[in-house]
């Protein structure tokens, strides 16, 4: 089998230059890169990342354990994490646990046995003790996790306040708050708290709809929202815990002949691609997912370098005005 030396010789370059091309380090001209690739192809050279990982007892792979891939929010998050990882020369091992405790546990073990450089987890159910003695940095995303090295989240409370203030400023006087119920306490739960607090301070009436835990993006929220709007007449504003819920709220409003935003204003949460594809487009709370994803990767890097990492890093959110409010 061809070695690195053979490739260097065939390309007429030093071993150091070939190594820089392979590891994508430092400046390499396109011409040099192409001649290395050509030599590799001629010789059928196969660098062995596996051997390197074994000798270093650490791979350049980061594990992601997510509750969903298809949900527009997680699709965006995974996209941003893959990109941030790529820019820091990491690869991404993707696991979807669907909020099932047993699968999360298996995936954590898989990360361990694959000697990942770090793990980013967005878990709904996992128990704290799963995460002792992992041997690599653990970053929890929008989750409180005692055993994580660092937690990255957005200021959910601020997002809730912002949504309330916008709806009130636009004239809403009886506002519905639609949100999921988590089996464990999630940072996202404080969206509702911030929202209710802001409404209380301005003496605005609120009506709450908490979806049962079994409701997901797959089952849909539509029948609950329809029933809620029928039961509570005169609602002129809705704060929705996600853009998906907001999209289904638009559907329910149209079904009931309630014009959006004229008779009822709607604000979503997340600022996903979906918020631009409904009619009207969804006014929503923007989470800086790109920056949050980059922070996750940075924190793993820092922790592996022995640097100090903060327990929680919280990002500001912002309001994106579109068509529903």
Query: Torsion angle of alpha carbons 112, 118, 122, 125, nearest 10°?
Result: 30
Q: How far is the CB of 83 from a second copy (least distance, A)?
A: 7
Q: What angle do CA 18, 24, 28 make, to 5 degrees?
A: 65
Does the footprint of a second copy cover residue 251 (CB under 8 A)? yes
Nearest distance from C-beta of residue 92 to a second copy, angstroms: 5
**Residue 51: which H helix or E strand, with range?**
helix 49-56
* By CB under 8 A, residue 29 contacts a second copy: no
Q: How far is the CB of 155 from a second copy (least distance, A)?
A: 23
- Write down the least CB distance from residue 34 to a second copy, Å: 10
Residue selected from 28, 32, 47, 165 as contacting a second copy according to rule CB under 8 A: 47
Q: Comparing C-alpha atoms, which of 218, 201, 213, 221 is closest to residue 268?
A: 221
Q: How far is the CB of 251 from a second copy (least distance, A)?
A: 5
Residues 14 and 222: their CA atoms lie apart, in Å, by 63
- Residue 132 touching a second copy (CB under 8 A): yes
Site string for a second copy, 138-177 (x = CB under 8 A): ----------------------------------------
- Percent composition of the chain: helix, strand, coil (DSSP 3-state, to 5): 45, 20, 40
> What are the residues facing 179 on neighbouring strands?
210
Residue 247 binds to a second copy (criterion: CB under 8 A): yes
Shortest distance, position 171 Cβ to a second copy, whole Å: 23
d(CA 149, CA 311): 6
Q: How far apart are CA 139 and CA 99, in angstroms?
A: 17
Binding residue for a second copy (CB under 8 A) from 162, 244, 267, 292? Answer: 244
- Which of 184, 130, 164 has the alpha carbon at shortest distance from 319? 164
24 binds a second copy (CB under 8 A): yes
The reply to whether 91 sits near a second copy by the rule CB under 8 A is: yes
Residue 133 burial (10 A CB sphere; 0-12, 13-18, 19+): exposed
Per CB under 8 A, does 17 bind a second copy?
A: no
By CB under 8 A, tell whether 311 contacts a second copy: no
Nearer to a second copy by Cβ, of 244 and 299: the residue is 244
> Per CB under 8 A, does 290 bind a second copy?
no
Q: Count residues binding a second copy (CB under 8 A).
A: 61
- By beta-carbon proximity to a second copy, the closer residue of 218 and 233 is 218
Least distance from a second copy to the Cβ atom of residue 57, Å: 8
CA 236 to chain centre: 31
Of 118, 126, 189, the C-alpha closest to 153 is 189
Looking up tokens 């999209």 gives 247
Q: Give residue for tokens 């802001």.
A: 198
Footprint of a second copy (CB under 8 A):
22, 24, 37, 40-41, 44, 46-51, 53-54, 59, 61, 68-72, 75-76, 78-79, 82-83, 86, 91-96, 105-106, 109-110, 112-115, 129, 132-133, 135, 217, 220, 244, 247-248, 250-251, 254, 273-274, 276-279, 281
């Amino acid at each position: 089998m061809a070695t690195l030396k053979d490739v260097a010789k065939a390309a007429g370059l030093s071993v150091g230059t070939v190594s820089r091309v392979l590891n994508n380090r430092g400046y390499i001209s396109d011409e040099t890169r192409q001649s290395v690739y050509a030599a590799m192809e001629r010789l059928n050279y196969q660098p062995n990342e596996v051997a390197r990982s074994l000798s270093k007892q650490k791979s350049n792979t980061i594990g992601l354990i997510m509750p969903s891939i298809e949900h527009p929010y997680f699709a965006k998050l995974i996209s941003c994490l893959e990109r941030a990882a790529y820019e820091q020369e990491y690869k991404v091992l993707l696991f979807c646990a669907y909020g099932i405790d047993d699968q999360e546990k298996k995936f954590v073990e898989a990360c361990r046995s694959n000697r990942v450089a770090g793990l980013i987890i967005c878990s709904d159910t996992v128990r704290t003790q799963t995460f002792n003695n992992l041997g690599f940095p653990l970053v929890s995303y929008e989750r409180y996790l005692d055993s994580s090295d660092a937690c990255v989240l957005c200021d959910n409370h601020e997002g809730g306040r912002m949504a309330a203030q916008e709806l009130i400023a636009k004239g809403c006087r009886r506002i519905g708050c639609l949100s999921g119920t988590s089996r464990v306490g999630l940072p996202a739960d404080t969206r509702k708290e911030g929202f209710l607090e802001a409404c209380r301070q301005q003496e605005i009436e609120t009506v709450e709809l908490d979806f049962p835990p079994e409701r997901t993006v797959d089952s849909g929220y539509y029948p609950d929202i329809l029933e809620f709007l029928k039961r509570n007449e005169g609602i002129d504003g809705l704060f929705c815990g996600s853009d998906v819920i907001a999209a289904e709220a638009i559907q329910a409003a149209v079904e009931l002949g309630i014009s959006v935003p004229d008779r009822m204003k709607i604000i979503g949460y997340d600022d996903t691609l979906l918020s631009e594809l409904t009619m009207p487009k969804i006014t929503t709370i923007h989470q800086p997912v790109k920056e949050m994803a980059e922070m996750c990767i940075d924190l793993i890097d820092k922790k592996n370098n022995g640097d100090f990492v903060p327990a929680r890093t919280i990002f500001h959110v912002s309001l994106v005005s579109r068509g529903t409010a």
